[in-house]
Amino acid sequence: MKYVKWAACLVVLALCGGAVFNQETVKGPKDKKPDKEADAKPATHKVAKKPFKIELSASGMLSADENAEISYRPQPMLRPAEGQNPLTVKQVAAHGSKVKKGDVLIAFETTKMSEVIHNAEMEQKALAASIKLTEEELPIHEKTVPLELAAAEFAKKQADEELKYFLDIGKAQTEKDANLMVKYMKFYVEYAEEELVQLKKMYKANDLTEETERMILRRAQHYVEQMQAYYQSTVLRRDYVLKFALPNREKALKEDQAKSTLLLEKARKTSTPWLVQKQAALARMRHEYAADVDRLAKLRKDLAAMTLTAPMDGVVYHGRFHQGSWTVAESADGKLMPGATAQPDKVLLTVVKPRATEVHLSIDEKEVHLLKADLKGTAKLPARPDRKLAVRVASVSAAPTAPGKFAGVVQLDAGAADADLVPGLACNVKFVPYAKKDAIVVPIKCIEEEDGKDVVHVLLPNGKHETRTVTVGKSDGTHTEILAGLRENEEVLLESPSAKTASKEKGATP
C-alpha cells in the first residue's frame, strides 16, 4: 500500500516537471511581448461644429473729450527776466475744485517781475533820450564835417605860408632890424655925448649965469645917460632875438606846419568814417530801442500771464491730465500750494470737463488688428463693479505709441456718461471682434506649415493618417477656425506623426 502512494507521488512530480519544461520552450527568443505603445491609438481631436468667438480685453482710463493744460509760458526772449524763474505760488485753486471760465487758477508773486519791468522802463527812457540827442547832433555833425575839413586845409596852407615867409624873408629881416636898431641907438648915444661936449665948450665962452649953465648941462648929461641905457637895452633885445626869439619862432612854425599836416590828413581820413560811425551808432540805438520796446511788451504780457485763469468750465486737477493718465504737478517743494516754487513751461494744472466721455486704451500690437472703428464692447469699472458701460471704438493709432503698444480711443454711449464717471477712473473694456455660431475649430497645435501651406494630419478609419491642406481663419490664441479642408466627425492628430516618430527614436536604446 505504501508503495502505491509513493508511485502516485512520483507520477505527479513527473507531470509537473514536463509542464514547466513545455512553458520554457514556448518563451523562446522568437516569441516577443506585444508592444502596447505601437497598438495604442494616437491622440486626436474630433472635428465638430460649435460656437466660436474671439474676445479682446484691454485696460484703460476714463477721460473727457476736452481738457486744458495750464502752465506759465513766458515769451521767448534772448535775455530772460530774473522774475520768471523760479516762480513763487501766491494763490492756487484746490485739486478737485470746480471752476468757471475766467476764474483764477493760479497766481504767482510778481514783485521781482515788477522791478524788472520798472528797470526796463528806465533804461528805455534813457536810451530814448540818447537817441533824441544824437538825432539833433547828427545833422550838425554832417554840416560840420566839410567845414572842419576846409578849416584843416586852410590851417595847413597858412602854416606852410608862414613858415615859408619866415624862412625866406621874416627871419633875415628881423635880424637886420635888430642890428639896425642897435646901430641907431649907438648913433644916438654918440650924438648925445657930442652935444654935451659942445655945450660945455660953448658955456665957457658966453656970459650965461652959472645957474642956467648947470641946468642945461644937467639935462644934456641926463639925455646922454638915457641914450646909453637905451643902447644897452637894444643890444640885449637884439641878442635875445638872435639867440632865442628867432630860433623859437622857426621851431614853432615848423611844428605848426607838422601839426596842421597831421590834422589835415586826419580830417581827410577820419571825417567820413567818423560820420558813418555816428550814423551807425544812431541806427544801433534805434535797433536797441525797438528791441527794448518789444522786450518790455513781452515782460508786461508775462506779468499779466502770472495770473492764470480757467479757459473753460471744468474740474481742476493738480498736474498733467492727459488721455486719462494723471501726473502729479511738479514743484520744488513737491506740492502745489501757496509759498511753493514752480518752474516755467511746466504743466501745473489741468482743467478737465467734469464728465468722462471716452476711454483711452493701451493695446498689444498682436491684438491691434482685431480693433476696427465702430466695434462695440462693454466696459467695467473697479470703482463701480455693479455697472456695465456700452462703448464703441472711435479710433486706433496708426503707429505704435510705445514699444509693442498702440493707443485706442473708445467712446462711451451717450446714455452711459453721467456725473459719477469722472475722468481718471480705471476701467476694463471687453470686445468680441469675431463670433460664429457653427464654426469648425481645431487646436493650434494640430496645424503645421509645409511648403508654405497650412496642413493637418487626418486619422483614417484603417488607423493610418493622411496629410491634408486646410484654409485657416481666425484664431483666439488657442484654437483656430478651419474654413475649408475638414468635415464634421473627422479626427485630426494632436501631434504630428513625424514629431512622434522623432521623439520615439530619440528615446530608443542603442
- Are the C-beta atoms of 404 and 364 separated by less than 8 Å? yes
Please tell me which residue, 129 or 39, carries the higher pLDDT value: 129
Q: What is the pLDDT of residue 185?
A: 92
| Cα–Cα nearest to 363, from 56, 135, 103 | 56
44-53+437-507 CATH fold:
2.40.420
Average pLDDT over residues 295-312: 91
User: Residue 292 and residue 446: Cα distance in Å, rounded?
Assistant: 79
**pLDDT single digits (tens) 448-501:** 988 889 999 999 988 888 999 999 998 888 899 999 999 988 989 988 777 655
User: Residue 194 and residue 143: Cα distance in Å, rounded?
Assistant: 70
User: Residue 195 and residue 187: Cα distance in Å, rounded?
Assistant: 12
Average pLDDT over residues 231-241: 94
Q: What is the pLDDT of residue 427?
A: 87
**Cis amide bond preceding 382, omega within 30:** no
Q: What is the pLDDT of residue 21?
A: 35
**pLDDT single digits (tens) 322-356:** 777 777 655 444 578 888 888 888 888 889 888 77
Alpha carbon dihedral 252, 253, 256, 260, in 10-degree steps, equals -170
Q: What is the pLDDT of residue 500?
A: 58
**pLDDT single digits (tens) 24-57:** 333 444 444 445 555 567 888 888 889 988 888 8
- Are the C-beta atoms of 358 and 412 separated by less than 8 Å? yes
- For the chain, the residue count is 510
Quote the cell numbers at residue 257. Answer: 606846419
pLDDT band at residue 211 using 50, 70 and 90 as cut-offs = confident
Q: What is the pLDDT of residue 318?
A: 87
Find the helix or strand (DSSP H, E) in which 492 lies: strand 491-493
User: Residue 497 and residue 69: Cα distance in Å, rounded?
Assistant: 63
SS3 at position 303: helix
Would you report the helix, strand and coil content of the chain in percent, each value rounded to 5?
45, 25, 25
User: Residue 292 and residue 125: Cα distance in Å, rounded?
Assistant: 10
Neighbours of 231 (CB within 10 A): 21
**pLDDT single digits (tens) 218-227:** 898 999 999 9
Domain boundaries of the chain, sorted by first residue = 44-53+437-507, 70-79+90-106+308-352, 113-305
- Are the C-beta atoms of 365 and 406 separated by less than 8 Å? yes
